[in-house]
Amino acid sequence: MFVDMPLDQLRAYLPERPEPADFDAFWDRTLTEARKHDLGAVFTPHPSALTVADVYDVTYAGYGGHAIKGWLLVPRGAEGPVPCVVEYIGYGGGRGLPIDWLLWPSFGWAVFVMDSRGQGAGGWRRGDTADPEPGTGPQTPGVMTKGVHDPDDYYYRRLYTDAVRAVEAARTHPAVDPGRIAVSGGSQGGAIALAVSALVPDLACALISVPFMCHIRHATQITDENPYAELAVYCRVFKDRVEEVFTTLSYFDGLNFAARSAVPALFSVGLRDGVTPPSTVFAAHNHYAGPKEMRVYPYNGHEGGESAHAMEQAAFLRAALGA
């Protein structure tokens, strides 16, 4: 059993944020560079035996103009443009197969699933997108330390940029209502949804479940679980680079995105979660600047609230999307 802080302390936990002075300039520059590449979103009808949704195999230009794959599922028979949930995936996973993404179409909403570049062979859901950037310098297995010596080279700069471009791609499809877009994800996907909620300010809402990449240095000090353990291993070997590592990570820490987010958000946390410890999740929630709610699952770990939480999310989405 993992024990972090008592719930009353978690609700009041508001640690200092390790914010670099040029945080906003860094992300403005990053997205400006990305938008110099034609988005070029292509939606190819995908043969499927599914009867509840029309499926499109998606390709669009993400960071560096790199080709990013995805799925778009639109409820079959939908009249007029429908709201869309842009879904981001947990660590090591890829976009999988269309049948994996029927939840939101079952409620009458489209879902746009972004593949995670360079992931999808982690043992649980396949991916189809390469990461053309080789990264520089040594790294531990996984992507947590890929390019971690420099914010410009760091893997999550590319992934978060892909995620912003995913919202832009979803908005180009005629079946999607561009004014009713939500973002959603759990673990790594929750971290991405949190970042996008700050970088794309006109979203309808964000579903941020057991988010990773929050209060990162603290996380490495209280859990030995992967993926945070990748950072600890790297710092154990490269003892002279510890401050350099955490300086880079401050550009990607969810606490700094939370302080800039204004869209309504639904968070969730499992109090027995050793992967994304509760204090890291509450730190992001408590710094979140927009309207927010938290669902707490005292006896759950990193799986969070599972199907019960999906129903909470659906109710939150219905109110935010007006559908």
The rounded radius of gyration (Å) of the Cα atoms in the chain is 19
**For the packed helices 155-170 and 23-34, what is the interaxial angle rounded to 10 degrees?**
60
Closest alpha carbon to 56 in 40, 74, 68, 39: 74
Contacts of 277 (CB under 8 A, 6+ apart): 2, 4, 219, 222, 223
- C-alpha distances out from residue 32 to 131, 145, 147, 164, Å: 20, 25, 21, 12
Burial class (CB in 10 A: 0-12, 13-18, 19+), 262: middle
Binding-site entries for substrate: 91
Got the DSSP string for 87-125? EE--TT-----GGGG-HHHHTT-EEEEE--TT-S-SSSS
The residues annotated as belonging to the active site are: 187, 273, 302
Say if CB 46 and CB 72 are below 8 A apart.
no
Say if CB 161 and CB 133 are below 8 A apart.
no
- Beta-bridge partner residues of 323: none
Binding-site entries: 91
Here the tokens at position 239 are 């003892």
What SS3 class is residue 292?
strand
